[in-house]
Structure 1
Amino acid sequence: MSTIPVRVLGGPTALIEYGGLRLLTDPTFDAPGDYPSAGGPTLTKTAPSTVTPADLGPVDVVLLSHDEHADNLDDSGRALLADVPLTLTTPSGAERLGGSARPLAPWTSVTLDRPDGGTLTVTGAPALHGPDDVEGVEKITGEVVGFVLTSDDLPTVYVSGDNASLTLVGRIAERFGPVDTAVLFAGAPRFPALFDGAPLVLDSAGAAEAARILGARRVVPVHCDSWAHFTEGREDVVAAFRAAGLDDLLRVEA
Structure 2
Amino acid sequence: MNPSSASIAVTVVGGPTALLEWAGLRLLLDPTFDEPQRYGDHPDALEKTSAPAVSFDALGRIDAALVSHHHHEDNLDHRGRDLALTLPLVVTTPVGALDLGTRGGTARIIGLADDEGLALDDPGVVGAAVAAHAPEGARLVALPAQHGPDEWAERLGPVCGFLLSAPGHPTVYVSGDNSEVGVVDTIVARHGQVDAAILFAGAARVDDIDAPLTLTAERARAAALVLGARRVVGLHVDQWTHFSEGRDALEREFAGLESAAGGPLLAHTPLGARTEVAL
Fold-level match, TM-score > 0.5? yes
Counterpart in the other structure of 1:140: 155
Q: Is the 8 A contact 1:19 1:118 kept in 2?
A: no
**CA offsets per residue over residues 112-152 of structure 1, 9 Å max, x none?**
12526423200011000002xx33x3321010000000111
- Find 1:104's aligned residue among 100, 105, 112: 112
Shift of 1:95: 0.5
Cα 1:156–1:227 shift into 2, 3 Å: same
Deviation for aligned residue 1:202: 0.5
Matched, 1:3 2:7: yes
| Partner Cα distance (2:78, 2:208) in 1 | 26
One-letter code aligned to 1:101: I
Q: Relative contact order (alpha carbons < 8 A, sep ≥ 6): 1 or 2 greater? A: 2
Q: What per-residue deviation string (whole Å, max 9, x for no partner) do you get for residues 82-138 of structure 1?
A: 21111110111100111522111110000112526423200011000002xx33x33
Residue range with higher mean Cα deviation, 213-222 or 114-123: 114-123
Query: Where does residue 215 of structure 2 map in the other structure?
Result: 202
Structure 1 residue 252 displacement after superposition = 2.8
Q: Alignment partner of 1:28: what SS? A: coil
> 1:84 and 2:97 equivalent?
no
TM-score by length of 1: 0.92
CA offset at residue 165 of structure 1?
Answer: 1.2
Cα deviation for residue 176 of structure 1 reads 3.0
**1:152 corresponds to which letter in structure 2?**
P
Q: Percent identity?
A: 45
In structure 2, how many angstroms separate the alpha carbons of the residues matched to 1:227 and 1:215?
A: 29
1:162 aligns with 177
Aligned length: 248
Taking structure 2 as the reference length, what is the TM-score of the superposition? 0.84
Q: 2:248, 2:211 → 1: CA distance?
A: 20
Q: Which amino acid aligns with 1:253?
A: T
- 1:186–1:202 Cα contact (<8 Å) kept: yes
Pick one of 53, 58, 62 that aligns with 2:61.
58
Tell me what 1:211 maps to: 224
Where in structure 2 are the equivalents of 1:109-188 lying within 5 Å? 109-113=117-121, 114=131, 115=133, 117-131=135-149, 134-135=150-151, 137-188=152-203
Report what 2:32 is aligned to: 28
Is the 8 Å Cα contact of residues 191 and 229 (structure 1) preserved in structure 2? yes
Residue aligning to 2:252: 239
> How far 1:52 moved relative to its partner?
1.2
Which residue of structure 2 aligns with residue 251 of structure 1? 267
Q: CA deviation at 1:217?
A: 0.3
Whether contact under 8 Å (2:120, 2:134) holds in the other structure is no
Q: 1:142 to 1:117 in 2, by over 3 A?
A: closer
Mean CA deviation greater in 214-223 or 116-125: 116-125
Write the deviation string for residues 50-104 of structure 1: whole angstroms up to 9, x where unpaired. Answer: 1111212221111100010110001111111221111110111100111522111
2:275 maps to what in 1?
none
SS in 2 for 1:174: helix
Match of 2:21 in 1: 17
Deviates most, 117-126 or 159-168: 117-126
Structure 2: runs of 5 or more not aligned:
102-106, 122-130, 271-279
Unaligned regions of 5+ residues in structure 1, if any? none
